[in-house]
Chains A and B, each alone.
Chain A
Amino acid sequence: MNPSQTDIAQPMPPVIEVDNVTTAFGGHVIHRNLSLVVHRDEVVALIGGSGSGKTTLLRLLLGLEVPQAGSVKIFGHPLGRCSACDLEHVRYRWGVLFQNGALFSALSVFDNIALPLRELQSVPPDMVGPLVMLKLAQVGLKPEDALKRPAELSGGMVKRVSLARALILDPQLLFLDEPTAGLDPDSAKQFVKLLRKLRQELGLTVVMVTHDVDTLFAVVDRVAVLADQRIIACGPLAEVARLPHTFVRNFFLGHAEHCAEDDVRRFRLSLDDTSDEGGVPALLREEPA
């Protein structure tokens, strides 16, 4: 991480500000007075058991659900109450990777990735091609894949294409819903490395929902634990792993003693050793067919 960026990050208002949010569906309360703050250039992971409201919280952050009480602010703009112009400001600056990709099945991979660019209507047509092909290479796909339809892709490829689409506008804020779920361990590792690289290059703020302990180790600055209808803890991995809560204890089962800061640092260094070679970004390896 560039030290100058972290220095200026402190006085700035947070990228995401969730203030005392209460969500309920038909009398069933999901979040009660939940608050969460995410600062710039930070990678925050949301963990929590099934049905604890992780996905609902993500949908709140994306403005797809409206809370019963409380407010959600992204880049300082309150969602739900801001003007269309403000919302546009927000929407062009975030990228979202949905759990199942949410690729448009009627469009080819190329058109899927190009769609946000074309919607902007200000990027010259002769720039769309190179930009899309760059993102495709960045997520480790071959140029031939550009013409495929989403139905012809494997699960891992769907994730990559979806990530490329989320990144095409070079967003400052990235939401990832279970980015490594359904990937084989090697692909998951490559994905995590890619995320680290992108973060270094673009200065990304990332919010991710994940169950993968390796991902937590590799990229995450802070872990937010969602349980009992609120965030019971939000802090560095080493801190959270020591929490005496049943969910946390089960989640880090057997890992808790390895979560000290030195261990995390060593793990990340071991990742870096194998990633960059010769300054040119190491592309993701192709997954075995």
Chain B
Amino acid sequence: MTDAGALSPTDPPRADSAASAGSTDAEPRLHASGAREWRVSGDWTLLALRGRYEEFRHRIAAAMAEAPDTLWDLRAVSRLDTAGALTLWQGWGQKPPARLLWQPEHVTLFAQFMHTRTPPRPKPGLRPGLARASLSLLAFARHGVDVVALLGRLLLDVGRVLRHPPLIGWREISANVFRTGAQALPITALVGFLVGLTLSYLISKQLKTYGADIFVVNILGLAVLRELGPLLAAIIVAGRSGSSMTAQIGVMRVTQELDALSVMGISHTVRLVLPKVVGLAISLPLVALWTSALMLLGGMTAAGAQLKLDPTQFLHLLPSVVEPVNLWLGWTKSVLFGGLIALLACHFGLRVTPNTESLGQSVTQSVVSAITLVIVVDAVFAVLFSNVGI
């Protein structure tokens, strides 16, 4: 790089009218103006140097390596900003060159490079291993403890509210029933009907080969009323209403509305958690019944098409082959699922820390853990009541 100056022939000076009001830049230039003498000119700014930082740093460093006593003439620089000064500084090797001519305004710009501050290193995160696994286990346990604590507070508050009935937020509860129940009807109807249709189609096809056509009513009725209806409704509602509850409470944390409630002496559990838990515990059984009905309708349609089974016959057979206790079991589960989904949603909502990332994370966690827990509880029910109603 002995002849670095030749790389940048003296460009014809550009008409600077384009630089009016400073919205365009003059090109940064660096050229040898004599033996061991470099002239720096043009705009040495962040935008003017775009994409050419490396090039200039290399050329400056090469010139410095060649002759450490080179004279650097910065007097022709039209604009110099921090990025431009840093490019020169890094090219010079983090120190001012021995011979330097500069403009007085640039002194402070270079002076700040004198005390270098290295950015602090963030603490490295734990690598996957035993330590991290045990930490996440601990976090999981803490969630469990917190949910139990929230449940306990809720029960205490229920006791208090029952002694002072005016505290009950009827409007809140009814609004929640409307939002989580009535507004969920179209989507649960669509999903329920299609799942029922598919299920019945597959079952009918298998049964037909054995000539056991009529058993489609038994299988479908039992599965839908006892398991699938409540489960499907719970999963859809967890995704739909659980996420919105977590987000709502989470945003209230971010905007300090929760703090405002606290200082007014209004309990979070009474005003926010209780109406949601009660509302969802009321609406989910209704949604589950609706979903089950639509699933059976879908099943009936498919059975009618596949097996030529008359819908009236289907409905006539249903009560005699599926014991009513299955319906009660499904309802009981739904009440529990509803309370559980709302409780988890509120728990994760209240844990949000005031930043956007935590909000997103909490909503995800809320939905995922609600769905998981619903399925776990359903399995426990299946084991406990394995000899009831079948």
B47 with A134: CB separation less than 8 A: no
User: Which residues between 110 and 150 of chain B lie within 8 Å of chain A, taking CB atoms?
Assistant: 111-114, 116-120, 122
B120 with A202: CB separation less than 8 A: no
User: Which residues between 122 and 176 of chain A lie within 8 Å of chain B, taking CB atoms?
Assistant: 122-124, 126-127, 129-138, 143-144, 146-147, 149-151, 169-170, 172
Known interface pairs A146-B119, A281-B112; A122-B354 also in contact (CB < 8 Å): no
B353 with A124: CB separation less than 8 A: no
**What CA separation (Å) do A195 and B149 show in the bound complex?**
51
| Interface check B357, CB cutoff 8 A | yes
Pick the contact of B354 from A105, A132, A280 — CB < 8 Å? A105
**Chain B contacts of A193 at CB under 8 A?**
none
A137 with B81: CB separation less than 8 A: no
Mask, A82-104, CB within 8 Å of B = 1, is 00000001101100000000001
B83 with A149: CB separation less than 8 A: no
B108 with A202: CB separation less than 8 A: no
Known interface pairs A124-B54, A129-B118; A172-B22 also in contact (CB < 8 Å): yes
Pick the contact of A132 from B105, B107, B119 — CB < 8 Å? B119
Known interface pairs A280-B111, A281-B108; A127-B86 also in contact (CB < 8 Å): yes
**What count of chain A residues pass the 8 Å CB interface test?**
50
Which of these binds chain B: A8-16, A55-63, A219-227?
A8-16
B21 with A15: CB separation less than 8 A: yes
**What CA separation (Å) do A281 and B51 show in the bound complex?**
30
B355 with A2: CB separation less than 8 A: no
**Chain A contacts of B82 at CB under 8 A?**
131, 134-135, 170
Most chain A CB inside 10 Å of its own CB: which residue of B20, B46, B120, B356:
B46
Known interface pairs A76-B20, A89-B23, A90-B23; A124-B53 also in contact (CB < 8 Å): yes
| Interface check A201, CB cutoff 8 A | yes
**Chain B contacts of A137 at CB under 8 A?**
112, 117
**Chain A contacts of B356 at CB under 8 A?**
104-106
B21 with A131: CB separation less than 8 A: no
**What count of chain B residues pass the 8 Å CB interface test?**
37
A170 with B118: CB separation less than 8 A: no
Mask, B76-89, CB within 8 Å of A = 1, is 00000111001100
**What CA separation (Å) do A201 and B79 show in the bound complex?**
11
| Interface check B50, CB cutoff 8 A | yes
**Chain B contacts of A122 at CB under 8 A?**
50-51, 53
| Interface check A253, CB cutoff 8 A | no
| Interface check A40, CB cutoff 8 A | yes
Query: Residue of A at shortest CB range from B53?
Result: A124
A130 with B86: CB separation less than 8 A: yes
A133 with B81: CB separation less than 8 A: no
| Interface check B214, CB cutoff 8 A | no
| Interface check B372, CB cutoff 8 A | no
**What CA separation (Å) do A136 and B20 show in the bound complex?**
31
B112 with A138: CB separation less than 8 A: yes
| Interface check A51, CB cutoff 8 A | no
B359 nearest CB across to chain A (Å): 9
| Interface check B109, CB cutoff 8 A | yes
**What CA separation (Å) do A120 and B87 show in the bound complex?**
16
**What CA separation (Å) do A57 and B219 show in the bound complex?**
68
A133 with B119: CB separation less than 8 A: yes
User: Which residues between 251 and 274 of chain B lie within 8 Å of chain A, taking CB atoms?
Assistant: none
B107 with A75: CB separation less than 8 A: no
**Chain A contacts of B23 at CB under 8 A?**
75-77, 89-90, 93
| Interface check B33, CB cutoff 8 A | no
| Interface check B45, CB cutoff 8 A | yes
**Chain A contacts of B108 at CB under 8 A?**
201, 279-281
| Interface check A191, CB cutoff 8 A | no
A170 with B46: CB separation less than 8 A: yes
Pick the contact of A123 from B83, B107, B117, B122 — CB < 8 Å? B83
**What CA separation (Å) do A120 and B48 show in the bound complex?**
12
B50 with A147: CB separation less than 8 A: no
**What CA separation (Å) do A122 and B87 show in the bound complex?**
13
A110 with B355: CB separation less than 8 A: no
Q: What are some 23 contacts across the A-B interface (CB < 8 A)?
A: A14-B21, A40-B21, A40-B22, A75-B21, A75-B22, A77-B23, A89-B24, A93-B47, A120-B50, A127-B53, A127-B90, A131-B83, A131-B86, A133-B118, A134-B113, A134-B117, A136-B117, A138-B112, A143-B118, A147-B122, A151-B353, A170-B82, A281-B111
Sort A-B residue pairs by CB-CB distance and give the 3 closest, nearest first. A105-B355, A75-B23, A106-B357
- Interface residue ranges, B against A (CB under 8 Å): 20-24, 45-47, 50-51, 53-54, 81-83, 86-87, 90, 105, 107-109, 111-114, 116-120, 122, 353-357
